[in-house]
Amino acid sequence: MSPETAKAALSLLEAGEGFAWATIIDSKGSSPRHAGASMLIRADGSIAGTIGGGALEAAVIRHALTVLATREPFLMDYNLTSADSAQLGMICGGSGLALIDYVDPGDGAAQELFRGVLDLLRSGGKGWLVTVVPEADPDTGRAGRATGRCLLDSSGAVTGPPVCPPELVEELVRGGGAYPRMTAGRASGTYVQPLGARGTAYVFGAGHCGEKLVWVLSLVGFFTVVVDDRAAFANPERFPDADRIVVPDSFARALDGLPVDEDSYVVIMTRGHLYDRAVLMQTLRTRAGYVGMIGSKKKVAETFRALQAEGFSAGDLARVHAPIGLSIGAETPEEIAISIAAELIQVRANRSG
């Protein structure tokens, strides 16, 4: 779920308008989007967010309009291999299950829930949206009871109705909830959907390439942090899409106070190789899940020799993606940003796959 979708949901609720909420809770094969994808459907059929577009999304919207009229949850079983139960007639080869639920503007807990979700997404925090999936008639897909939903953050705090069992809270907070999943059965039970930024990208360097890169990374779900010692470059005017901007006294202590961990993607592209080297030395002492540095092969070789002289091992240097980015012949700042973003997406997908 994106902050934009959560914001749209909260705005509708505050205006007294209900909507349908659709979530892919199970997927197999080549589905347009995998489990966890969700979108909002308004009474006029317009949407916020997406579950993949095409015939599947159109079918979900049609069912959502019925949900808006009846206010009854609906479980849509779909198969994209032929004209089957969902009558989609696509040949992607995937299948899955979509839960479509009515969100009532008169339910104060719903406003509280989506406000909590929006705050979590904007802050770069992490949590889980826990949904009680109702039993449904296997012939009609209609569910016999309302859906319960709450937000659980990484500290264990719960927003919304207490539908999350204590043992599940303990498991998730302890670190057992990285991927969407049902805790019981395929078509009923408790559905756990991770929320929050899928990785924090620390971009060291607020030049032209950094400016374009932050914009691209924001589009694909990274929580972005810009770090540069020049306030004239590292500012909200140049980086309106950045989630955080840090202006250290110097690059020599640029990582001080930054919570770099296994879910961090460090991109080093400062205005000079000595600054790059200083940031890289600090980064290699962290648990960063991805470390990349821009530069020519000659610059990379010289930097590595200098770090080896400082005591860094071959294993340390093997962590570094350098030259950074996928090899697509990139030259302009925009092309370079795309090549780097593509590499980060690839690394992120391999880690979660």
Read off the pLDDT of residues 193-223 as tens digits, 9 standing for 90 and up. Answer: 888 767 899 999 999 999 999 999 988 888 8
Dihedral sign of CA atoms 241, 243, 247, 250 in order = negative
* Burial of 189 from C-beta contacts in 10 A (0-12 / 13-18 / 19+): middle
DSSP states of 49-80: E-S--HHHHHHHHHHHHHHHHH---EEEEEET
Structure tokens at 274: 């000595």
Looking at the structure, do residues 118 and 226 belong to the same domain, yes or no?
Answer: no
CA distance 231 to 186: 52
The amino acid at residue 107 is D
Looking at the structure, do residues 346 and 219 belong to the same domain, yes or no?
Answer: yes
Residue 47 has pLDDT above 70, yes or no: yes
Which of 140, 171, 196 marks a domain boundary?
A: 196
Per-residue pLDDT band for 84 (boundaries 50, 70, 90) equals: very low
Number of structural domains the chain divides into: 2
Looking at the structure, do residues 86 and 189 belong to the same domain, yes or no?
Answer: yes
Mean pLDDT of the chain: 85
The predicted structure's pLDDT at residue 311 = 94
Which of 196, 222, 240 marks a domain boundary?
A: 196
Dihedral sign of CA atoms 49, 52, 54, 58 in order = negative
- Give me the percent of the chain exceeding a pLDDT of 90: 53
Beta pairing partners, 93 = none
The predicted structure's pLDDT at residue 86 = 45
Looking at the structure, do residues 161 and 16 belong to the same domain, yes or no?
Answer: yes
Looking at the structure, do residues 20 and 113 belong to the same domain, yes or no?
Answer: yes
pLDDT digits (tens, 9 = 90+) for 290-324: 999 998 889 999 999 999 999 999 999 999 999 89
The amino acid at residue 146 is A
Looking at the structure, do residues 149 and 219 belong to the same domain, yes or no?
Answer: no
Would you put residue 46 in left (φ > 0), alpha (ψ -120 to 50) or beta? beta
What's the CATH code of the domain at 283?
3.40.50.720
Which of 171, 196, 221 marks a domain boundary?
A: 196
The predicted structure's pLDDT at residue 250 = 94
pLDDT digits (tens, 9 = 90+) for 2-34: 788 899 999 999 999 999 999 888 766 555 456
Looking at the structure, do residues 159 and 212 belong to the same domain, yes or no?
Answer: no
Global pTM reads 0.67
Looking at the structure, do residues 147 and 207 belong to the same domain, yes or no?
Answer: no
| Residue predicted with more confidence, 199 or 246 | 246
DSSP states of 150-167: EEEETTS-EESS--S-HH
Domain that holds residue 15: 3-196
The predicted structure's pLDDT at residue 187 = 45
Per-residue pLDDT band for 160 (boundaries 50, 70, 90) equals: confident
Looking at the structure, do residues 205 and 321 belong to the same domain, yes or no?
Answer: yes
Looking at the structure, do residues 191 and 204 belong to the same domain, yes or no?
Answer: no
Looking at the structure, do residues 43 and 12 belong to the same domain, yes or no?
Answer: yes
Looking at the structure, do residues 206 and 119 belong to the same domain, yes or no?
Answer: no
CA distance 11 to 13: 6
290-293 and 264-268 beta bridge pairing: parallel
The predicted structure's pLDDT at residue 37 = 83
CA distance 81 to 281: 51
The predicted structure's pLDDT at residue 188 = 54
